[in-house]
Structure 1
Amino acid sequence: MYEYIQGSLAELTPTHAIVDAGGVGYFVNISLQTYSQLEGKTQVKLWLHQIIREDAHLLYGFTDVREREIFRLLISVSGVGASTARLILSSLTTDEIQAAITTENVNLIKQVKGIGLKTAQRIVVDLKDKVSIGEATVSQILSTSNNTLKSEALSALVMLGFARSAADKVIDQVLKEMGQMPVEALIKHALKRL
């Protein structure tokens, strides 16, 4: 199994990139998220997921490990293949996908072209517990202070026994209404509303 590929970008389209690594051009399928991150770059590093079928060996590439982890979770759902997972990642950001799954927002997932109600529900049901676990194990939380603040407060509330989705909503409300504050203050305000 390949972990990543690093080299010069020979070709870039919204659906694939050709990466020249060691004199060999690798055809790598990408999402629009990855495409937007690669635009204008000449040297790239893509985290890979390889799919071997009877008729093809396919590489899917991602600019960060977190996007690859979401891709792997999506393809683990019955009825969601690599093309559908890539379409979901092209339509929604990784944060939007995680939020939709944890808050059971089936309608947001259903808005992706080709995703019906049953598939969207299956994604939510199958991944609800895995997304929060995946997020913690991958620990690829964005480095903005607001996300760090939110993640610390969310972890504390979950450890106190509150449901992750309920705590997440309350923290978002508090941050929206009151703005930045120390973690302790955010937790106290969230506890009053839970």
Structure 2
Amino acid sequence: MIAFIRGQFVLKTPAVVHIEANGIGYELHISLNTYSHIQSLEKGLLYTHLHIKEDAHTLYGFFDVAEKELFLQLVSVSGVGAATARMMLSSLKPEELSTAIVTGNTKQLEAIKGIGKKSAERIILELKDKLSKTKPGLNISPLVNNTLEQDALNALIALGIARSAAEQAVQRVVKAEPSLSAVEEIIKKALKTI
């Protein structure tokens, strides 16, 4: 199995990239999310997944492990193929897609080309619990769209503080001092209020 490829980007399009590694050229199918990260790079590393079907062996490339893991979760759902999973990752950022699944937002999933109401419901049904366990920071939270506050919340939870107490503490700190721009400052001040 090919875990990743590091090399020179010979060709980059929003859907496909060619990487030359040690004289061998690899064609990888990518999402728009990955393309947005690599479009200005001349060389780099992409994590890979070899998708094998009766009529084709297709290599998919991902900018980071989180996107690859989400892709693998999506293709594990009955009725969701690799092309559909790539379309989903091109339509929404991986964290937005995970949040939509965890929060049961069928409307957001239905807005993706190729995903109907039944498919959206099946994806949510099969992946909601899995994603909630592997990504505890994605539980429904009023802080979910602010990455600075979310990082502080995740850190407090990792320190063993209950989610509800951590959320309240972070909200108090941010409300009292909205100009804070460092996660460390938010965490330190939140710890003093708990």
CA drift at 1:65: 0.5
Q: Does 1:182 align with 2:182?
A: no
3-state SS in 2 of match to 1:34? helix
Rounded Cα–Cα distance in structure 2 between residues aligned with 1:187 and 1:81: 45
Instruction: Note the alpha carbon deviations across 1:154-179, whole angstroms, 9 max, x for none.
Output: 5578x7487xxxx7xx8997787564
Change in CA separation of 1:57 and 1:182 when aligned onto 2, cut-off 3 Å: same
Instruction: Note the alpha carbon deviations across 1:89-132, whole angstroms, 9 max, x for none.
Output: 00000111111111111111111011001111111111111112
TM-score, normalised by the number of residues in structure 1: 0.78
Change in CA separation of 1:56 and 1:175 when aligned onto 2, cut-off 3 Å: farther
TM-score, normalised by the number of residues in structure 2: 0.78
Unpaired runs of at least 5, structure 1:
137-143
Q: Does 1:30 align with 2:34?
A: no
After TM superposition, the runs of 4+ consecutive aligned structure 1 residues lying more than 3 A away are 144-147, 153-157, 159-162, 170-189
Rounded Cα–Cα distance in structure 1 between residues aligned with 2:7 and 2:30: 16
Asked whether the equivalents of residues 173 and 186 of structure 2 are also in contact (C-alpha less than 8 Å), the reply is no
Change in CA separation of 1:97 and 1:156 when aligned onto 2, cut-off 3 Å: farther
Rounded Cα–Cα distance in structure 1 between residues aligned with 2:169 and 2:105: 17
Q: Does 1:104 align with 2:107?
A: no
Asked whether the equivalents of residues 74 and 80 of structure 2 are also in contact (C-alpha less than 8 Å), the reply is yes
Fraction of identical pairs, as percent = 38
Letter in 2 for 1:150: L
Instruction: Note the alpha carbon deviations across 1:37-72, whole angstroms, 9 max, x for none.
Output: 111211110000111122211111001001111111
| Selected match of 1:149 from 128, 152, 167 | 152
Alignment coverage as a number of residue pairs: 176
Rounded Cα–Cα distance in structure 2 between residues aligned with 1:172 and 1:106: 29
Change in CA separation of 1:77 and 1:114 when aligned onto 2, cut-off 3 Å: same
Rounded Cα–Cα distance in structure 1 between residues aligned with 2:104 and 2:132: 13
Asked whether the equivalents of residues 7 and 43 of structure 2 are also in contact (C-alpha less than 8 Å), the reply is yes
Rounded Cα–Cα distance in structure 2 between residues aligned with 1:147 and 1:31: 25
Counterpart of 1:72?
72
1:1-194 equivalence runs, <5 A: 1-135=1-135, 145-153=148-156, 160=162, 179=178, 182-183=186-187
CA drift at 1:146: 3.2
Asked whether the equivalents of residues 69 and 134 of structure 1 are also in contact (C-alpha less than 8 Å), the reply is no
3-state SS in 2 of match to 1:7? strand
CA drift at 1:15: 0.5
Rounded Cα–Cα distance in structure 2 between residues aligned with 1:130 and 1:92: 19
RMSD: 2.8
Rounded Cα–Cα distance in structure 2 between residues aligned with 1:74 and 1:93: 14
CA drift at 1:147: 3.4
Letter in 2 for 1:130: K
